């Protein structure tokens, strides 16, 4: 039995080395590849300005976050939720890097990879679809996952969408292979039946004699146009 957590974050900017911070965390639990209904969702006050470019992506403003808790306030709850699970993340180095930066800033030495196994859906998608677009939106289109409500990025919404994409990518391929094998077996069986029913049996001497007599009569009646008369070839 396997416990997995689909995880996504939204941040004040892209570069953790410039002290950008997490402003939203969304986690959704899977158990044996089924949604359990359990989730962890939290907005955070970053105590710094959010880049305008980031706001255009997720729509989250400093005004909205000013009364939200600090990462320090929720760090243990988050750790308890993800501890021991396999994390499913799209572009894992980004989210993991920010999480570990936050734990370090809060004076907690936490290495996410030491407490959780990590599955990077971006790395997996690139292996399945080399040379193609493998953003979350592109994967939604490829696998028929509904993302029509995704006007802005949002950690919890994106986690749910990523969960559907992950299940399609890792389960759909298996189903496809099984279907392919079944199809091949059906084709092979049909071919074998066709070959068996199409065997050619050699005529005996009596059958050949009667065939020749009939062909000679047809040949005579048609002024030599009988195409089945083997004595002419």
Residues 191-217 have pLDDT tens digits of 444 444 445 556 777 777 777 777 776
Per the CB < 8 A criterion, the answer to whether 5 and 26 are in contact is no
Same domain for 173 and 207? no
Cα separations (Å) of 79 from 20, 107, 140? 21, 14, 29
Residue 68: name the closest of 102, 45, 38, 89 by CA. Answer: 45
Whether the per-residue pLDDT at 182 is higher than 60: the answer is no
What is the per-residue pLDDT across 118-135, written as a single tens digit (0 to 9) for each?
999 999 999 999 999 999
The reply to whether 33 falls in a domain is yes
Q: Are residues 143 and 225 in the same domain?
A: no
Distance CA 39, CA 103 (A): 20
Q: Are residues 156 and 231 in the same domain?
A: no
Q: What pLDDT is stored for residue 47 in this prediction?
A: 96
Considering the domain architecture, whether residues 13 and 103 belong to the same structural domain is answered as yes
Instruction: Give the pLDDT of residue 156.
Output: 95
- Residue 211 pLDDT: 72
User: Residue 191 falls within a domain, yes or no?
Assistant: no
Task: Give residue 225's domain range.
Answer: 203-233
Of residues 20, 58, 101, 153, which has the active-site annotation? 153
DSSP 213: H
Q: What angle do CA 190, 191, 195 make, to 5 degrees?
A: 120
pLDDT, tens digit, for every residue of 136-168? 999 999 999 998 888 779 999 999 999 999 999
Q: Is 153 a catalytic residue?
A: yes
Residue 153 sits in the same domain as residue 75: yes
* Cβ–Cβ < 8 Å for 51, 35: no
Same domain, 86 and 14: yes
* Angstrom distance (rounded) from CA 102 to CA 109: 10
The answer to whether residues 81 and 8 belong to one domain is: yes
> Residue 9's closest CA among 125, 91, 67?
91
> Do 208 and 100 have their domain in common?
no
Is residue 138 situated within a structural domain?
A: yes
67 plus 164 within the same structural domain: yes
- When divided into structural domains, the chain yields a total of 2
pLDDT at 226: 60
30-34, 105-109, 209-213, 219-223: the lowest-pLDDT one: 219-223
H helices of the chain, where? 52-58, 62-65, 71-82, 92-105, 112-115, 121-128, 136-143, 155-167, 173-197, 205-221
Whether 189 is covered by a domain: the verdict is no
């Amino acid at each position: 039995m396997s416990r997995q957590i689909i995880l996504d974050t939204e941040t004040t900017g892209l570069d953790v080395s410039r002290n950008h911070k997490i402003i939203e965390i969304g986690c959704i639990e899977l158990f044996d590849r089924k949604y359990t209904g359990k989730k962890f969702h939290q907005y955070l006050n970053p105590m710094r300005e959010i880049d305008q470019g980031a706001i255009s992506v997720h729509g989250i403003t400093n005004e909205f976050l000013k009364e939200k808790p600090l990462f320090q306030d929720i760090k243990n709850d988050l750790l308890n939720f993800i501890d021991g699970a396999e994390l499913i993340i799209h572009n894992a180095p980004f989210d993991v890097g920010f999480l570990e930066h936050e734990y370090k800033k809060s004076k907690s030495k936490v290495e996410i990879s030491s407490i959780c196994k990590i599955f990077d859906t971006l790395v997996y998608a690139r292996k399945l679809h080399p040379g193609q677009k493998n953003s979350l939106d592109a994967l939604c289109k490829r696998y028929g996952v509904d993302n029509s409500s995704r006007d802005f990025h949002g950690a919890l919404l994106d986690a749910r969408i990523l969960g559907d994409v992950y299940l399609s990518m890792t389960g759909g391929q298996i189903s496809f292979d099984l279907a392919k094998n079944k199809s091949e077996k059906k084709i092979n069986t049909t071919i074998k039946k066709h070959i068996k029913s199409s065997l050619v049996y050699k005529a005996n001497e009596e059958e050949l004699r009667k065939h020749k007599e009939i062909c000679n009569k047809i040949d005579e009646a048609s002024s030599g146009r009988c195409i089945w008369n083997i004595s002419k070839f």
